[in-house]
Structure 1
Amino acid sequence: MTPELLAAGNQPAGWLDAAAADAALLPDFARLCAFGGRLAGSGGDEAALAWALERLAPLGGQVRRVQVPYAGWRAERAELLLPGASTPLACRALLRSASTPPEGLVAEVLDLGQGRAQDFAAAGARLRGRIALVRHEYPFSAAHLHRRRKYDMAMAQGAAAFLIANPLPDHGLLSGSSGRPPGGAGIPAAYIDHAAASRLASLPAGQSVRLTVLGHEQPGAQAGVAVWDLAGERAERIVISAHIDGHDLGCSALDNATGVAVALAAARALAPRIGRGSNSLRLCLFSAEEWALAGSAEYLRGLPADERATLKLNLNLDTVAGDDRLTALTSGFAGLAPLVEAAGRLAGVPVGVHLPLMPNSDHANFAAAGVPALRLLAGFERPASRVRHILSAHDRPEVVRPDELRQAVRVTCAMAALGLAADAPALGALAA
């Protein structure tokens, strides 16, 4: 970045105080949570998207809705029974799970502990025809292994089915996707809670269980994308993004009502600062993020090449509260670190940087398209934080503190303002 832009990070910015004090921030957050979990295809995501478009319309510029395809699917039944039992254990199908036969699948369970590569290697041929049992991990850590990696290893080794357990006692079930593509290979897959995993782990050798997972495809499913454009003097665009969909165990407060509420507040604060001498601003609110990032992938795939070339920086907001420490996951773009550092000084909020790509939100699709992209995230490497409640029934408004939302607004506005002021060489440096 240019010395002038880096120096901007040392200048006072009283306007950020007003941005963080936005009177609509907390009501917007509460309203988003009131739409429920906003699972794509449930109707809650569509209602929330329509509401967000109404919130953006008074800011001027161009507001529009884009429809993109995604692999729709609905669970019909998920049940896990111990031998001779009539009361099933807690069980929830992973999105896009393959189905068992209607009468269920009977097999032994092989406990693979955390379910790392070495655990699968140690199991070897013993896993074939059995149900793999692994543990969910706190997702925001450099050491995290995603459930879909574990699912793929189980399938590759011939497992009959896949169970992933919440490792936290008394924390209930979790939600998540298997990532199985339409018509693709897959095995039945479900989340279970800590108590169910303990029961399964204690079964004697040779004891089988019955797992039933039934679901159906929804051909032609469409997800909405809210797009707001405000033109500056230059055509180069800074993109702020957040996903509006979630899971329906809780109300997806952390993941991601926080990001959407902060994105709307940032749009209100930045709109008056765009014009002569600035780059342009785009805001994208995606649905179907929880479906293997499908919404943003299809949106970017559908952009004309010349329009995609105007996208110079993506600031993706996903789970930006739940802890008082913020980190920018910078997708392998070393050139983003100076921008993050300068924005932290400008906002008066320290922001950590994690350089390697973590493909855990929509920034990954921007990065894959060659756009310098980061994810702003709370609670990185802090598994005891309230961020641990994502994907669970505990992901509710009470786990979010207002001061955390306000500091996320400050940081987002500072990063966006630096991007909006950057000239072509400075924007090019971000792509290093």
Structure 2
Amino acid sequence: MKRFGSLMLAGLMLAWTPVVRAADAGPYAPATLAVAREIQERALAGSGAFDFVESLTVRVGPRMAGTPAARAGHDWAMARFKELGLANVRVEPFTVEGWERGLESAAILSPAPQHLHVTALGYSVATPADGVTGAIARFDTLDDLLSAPDGSLEGKIAFVDKKMARLQDGGGYGQAVVARGRGPSEAARKGALALLIRSIGTDSHRFPHTGTTRYSPDVAAIPAAALSNPDADQLNRLLALGGPVTVRLTLASQAMGPLSDANVMGEIRGRELPEEIVVIAAHLDSWDLGTGALDDGAGVGIVLAAARILKSLPQPPRRTIRFILFGAEELGLVGARAYAAARAGGPSGSKERHQIGTEADFGAGPVITFNADVRPEARPVIDAIGRALSPLGIVPGRGPSSGGPDIGPLATAFGMATAGLGLDGTDYFDYHHTADDTLDKVDPRKLDQSVAAFASFAWLAAESPVGFSPVERTRE
């Protein structure tokens, strides 16, 4: 088995080794593409990204927004940026509404008493100290819950049982996650005591998946929790017997009020167009259940390792590359919104222009697709970047790209172009937002390929002979 594993790894390295191709260089000078190839080769030889992820998850651990651990993460990130010799290293504070999980439990009381594995959804209100008890009212989807008659869930616990599809690009997440965001308020409108949802994940482990929910101000908030997928299956088996199934849910979560959090950033100043910004981002915070190794410690490692390689080049790029580690992404893109709000419209006297941005927030990789949403004049540049990334096994992605969750507020505020370096998410949602999101799930070799992709993209974007923004977008 060891011999077979070594051969597999060697094959993987060969598949990701960049080769010099005689393809049309497009708008780039051959020397610029040669630097991109050098960046890729250096990253594949060992980027050191895994060491950053290990340091963050071991020395800091979980980094829930607004907590002392989050502040320790800011200090850790500041120290790493300064060690890399980046310019304008800084912390930009903002305020976030804090939330604490507390104790949580659930159990089937009848017809067959047994423990259930649950976790509170972010911002869920608490139950009374002795919990809430009610018969389960099951719904296949959120739409089915919406169709329930008003008042039909009085005294019951609603259960939305939407399963998430396993897709390489994570596309099943958007179809299932609406139950987490809207479900509690919609269940409350029907009179429910509480809401349980099947975990938004693709695993079959007894690790429930948390994630933020939002309450509508026009209805009383009810407790909300996610049930592990095997426990959701068990609940279904009992419901299939035909009689009522009674569950008790106990949550001790609580709002913590306004707390301080921050974005941490540093940059390589452009040699010719320093006021034009290329953004390479990840988010520094994590949920409290695991150590946030995949979500988003891996992204942090990619950003820092890319910064190290780019900083070591003989000359800086034409444009400024800004490396941003956003805070409080998990609680609603709070850091990204604060960053955008602070710069929307351009501060008085500022010439700063955000040209293009991307975020690593989908695990360790490898990167498998590339696409971008740019102004038409920049399409030849994007095509050339795609060709430069292809030796890494990266193919064109479908449709335009949002660039990543934290990039959205920047794109809206600045008309900034966005680039998507799509990571392989086949098993990402096995661990997402669970206690199982730990360092052992991160593959160093896949992480190196991701660094090769993000770093060479950043170099080529910063060297582009044309600007990428502004992008005309239709607002819905």
Q: TM-score range by the shorter chain?
A: 0.7 to 0.9
Q: Is the 8 A contact 1:116 1:145 kept in 2?
A: no
2:138 to 111, 117, 120: 111
Q: In percent, how many aligned pairs have the same letter?
A: 24
Letter in 1 for 2:186: A
Q: Is the 8 A contact 1:29 1:257 kept in 2?
A: yes
- How far is 1:419 from its partner? 1.4
In 2, Cα distance between equivalents of 1:237 and 1:89: 49
Q: Is the 8 A contact 1:240 1:284 kept in 2?
A: yes
- How far is 1:275 from its partner? 6.0
In 1, Cα distance between equivalents of 2:384 and 2:368: 14
Q: TM-score, normalised by structure 2?
A: 0.78
Q: How many residues align?
A: 424
Structure 1: stretches of 5+ with no match in the other structure? none
Q: Is the 8 A contact 1:326 1:377 kept in 2?
A: yes
Q: Secondary structure of the equivalent of 1:145? A: helix
In 2, Cα distance between equivalents of 1:410 and 1:41: 32
In 1, Cα distance between equivalents of 2:352 and 2:204: 48
Closer, same or farther in 2 for the Cα pair 1:43/1:334, shift >3 Å?
A: farther
Q: Is the 8 A contact 1:334 1:355 kept in 2?
A: no
Q: Secondary structure of the equivalent of 1:197? A: helix
Larger Rg: 2
Matches within 5 A, 1:28-427: 28-34=52-58, 35-58=60-83, 59-83=85-109, 88-113=115-140, 115-117=141-143, 119-120=144-145, 123-125=148-150, 128-129=153-154, 130-133=156-159, 134-135=161-162, 137=164, 140-143=169-172, 144-153=174-183, 155-156=185-186, 158-159=189-190, 160=192, 161-166=194-199, 168-180=203-215, 186-201=221-236, 202-203=238-239, 204-232=242-270, 233-234=272-273, 235-273=275-313, 278-303=318-343, 305-306=345-346, 310-322=353-365, 324-328=366-370, 330=372, 341-347=383-389, 348-349=391-392, 350-355=394-399, 361-369=405-413, 370-380=415-425, 382=426, 385=427, 388-423=430-465, 425-427=466-468
Deviates more, 1:25-34 or 1:101-110: 101-110
> 2:27 maps to what in 1?
4
Closer, same or farther in 2 for the Cα pair 1:94/1:239, shift >3 Å?
A: same
Structure 2: stretches of 5+ with no match in the other structure? 1-24
| Cα shift readout 1:10-54 (whole Å, capped 9, x = no counterpart) | 657223312443553222121122132222234333223212211
In 1, Cα distance between equivalents of 2:64 and 2:277: 29
Q: TM-score, normalised by structure 1?
A: 0.85
Q: Is the 8 A contact 2:182 2:214 kept in 1?
A: no
| Cα shift readout 1:235-287 (whole Å, capped 9, x = no counterpart) | 10111110011123222211111111110011112224596770112111012
In 2, Cα distance between equivalents of 1:192 and 1:6: 55
- How far is 1:213 from its partner? 2.4
Deviates more, 1:267-276 or 1:408-417: 267-276
2:42 to 13, 18, 23: 18
Letter in 2 for 1:4: P
Letter in 2 for 1:353: G
In 2, Cα distance between equivalents of 1:181 and 1:116: 16
| Cα shift readout 1:398-426 (whole Å, capped 9, x = no counterpart) | 22222211111111112111211124x43
| Cα shift readout 1:188-238 (whole Å, capped 9, x = no counterpart) | 111111333234321444443222223222122121211113321211011
Deviates more, 1:43-52 or 1:253-262: 43-52
In 2, Cα distance between equivalents of 1:10 and 1:276: 15
Q: Secondary structure of the equivalent of 1:305? A: coil
In 2, Cα distance between equivalents of 1:185 and 1:332: 43
CA root-mean-square deviation:
3.4
Closer, same or farther in 2 for the Cα pair 1:359/1:197, shift >3 Å?
A: farther
Closer, same or farther in 2 for the Cα pair 1:279/1:23, shift >3 Å?
A: closer
Closer, same or farther in 2 for the Cα pair 1:24/1:247, shift >3 Å?
A: same
| Cα shift readout 1:334-369 (whole Å, capped 9, x = no counterpart) | 888765553343242214424356696212222222
Deviates more, 1:207-216 or 1:9-18: 9-18
In 2, Cα distance between equivalents of 1:69 and 1:274: 40
Q: Is the 8 A contact 1:60 1:230 kept in 2?
A: yes
- How far is 1:146 from its partner? 4.5
- How far is 1:110 from its partner? 1.9
In 2, Cα distance between equivalents of 1:431 and 1:65: 31
Q: Is the 8 A contact 1:255 1:318 kept in 2?
A: yes
